[in-house]
Amino acid sequence: METQQHLGFTHRFVPGADPNGPTLLLLHGTGGNEDDLLGLGKALLPNAALLSPRGKVLEHGMPRFFKRLAEGVFDEKDLIARTTELAGFVRKAIEAYKLNDASIVAVGFSNGANIAASMFLLEPDVLRAGVLFRAMVPLQPPSTPNLQGKTVFISAGRLDPMIPAPNAERLAAMLRESGADVTLAWSPGGHNLTEEDVDAARRWLGQRPEVAA
């Protein structure tokens, strides 16, 4: 498994057991890279294909998927442009790797979860489902997207110092109001990902035959 440099992003691709099965789009947090969530992807859906790009924005040398002005304050113009760019990468990867375009599942942590949420709001045709660990509202979309048929699992921390509980609840409400089937699960911890988060997400995916492999 080599790091790939084409399609506009440095990334890893791991084929799935079934060419027509789901693909997990793995989106790391700040300071991560294309290797960070490969183990998580295997733990969530062992037979799925894995597509894991590296964020192209550097913050003090740490890769991210879009710029921010301060903690929790996003550069909205950059976020919109980066969301469009990432959606384009996914479309090119679908063609290059012959993926099932009806079964792309975003799995994101923190910054990666935020750009996944932005993709649902701005590029809703790209994703079938999402598993968003520690996500917050990324932006207010210019128009309400049509998320009918989309399913989203949001895992939020009750003691998360970076994302107040009302923000996670607002994100869930935004997606629901757009037609998505949203599950908001609460962890007793903070911003870090826990085994309980992973287990809950795995169970949720297992109950979704349209995306489970």
On the question of pLDDT at 5 being above 90, the answer is no
Mean pLDDT of 34-60: 96
* Calpha distance 84→148 (Å, rounded): 21
Q: What is the pLDDT of residue 213?
A: 52
Mean pLDDT of 103-128: 97
Range name among 40-54, 80-94, 199-213 with the lowest pLDDT average: 199-213
Model confidence at 212, in pLDDT bands (50, 70, 90)? low
End-to-end CA distance of the chain: 21
* Calpha distance 98→184 (Å, rounded): 32
* Calpha distance 56→58 (Å, rounded): 7
Mean pLDDT of 120-136: 97
pTM of the model: 0.96
Range name among 67-76, 147-156, 179-188 with the lowest pLDDT average: 67-76
Multiple choice CATH, 11-206, 3.30.2310.20, 3.90.76.10, 3.30.365.10, 3.40.50.1820? 3.40.50.1820
Q: What is the pLDDT of residue 31?
A: 96
% of the chain exceeding 90 in pLDDT: 89
Structure tokens at 150: 């989309």
Q: Which of 36, 52, 103, 110 is catalytic?
A: 110
Identify whether 110 is a catalytic site residue. yes
Q: Which of 155, 160, 187, 197 is catalytic?
A: 160
Which residues pair with residue 50 across a beta bridge?
14, 24
On the question of pLDDT at 158 being above 70, the answer is yes
Model confidence at 8, in pLDDT bands (50, 70, 90)? very high
**CA dihedral of 82, 24, 146, 186, whole degrees rounded to 10:** -100
Mean pLDDT of 75-94: 97
The conformational region for residue 157 under phi > 0 = left, psi -120 to 50 = alpha, else beta, is beta
Q: Which of 35, 101, 181, 191 is catalytic?
A: 191
Mean pLDDT of 24-50: 97
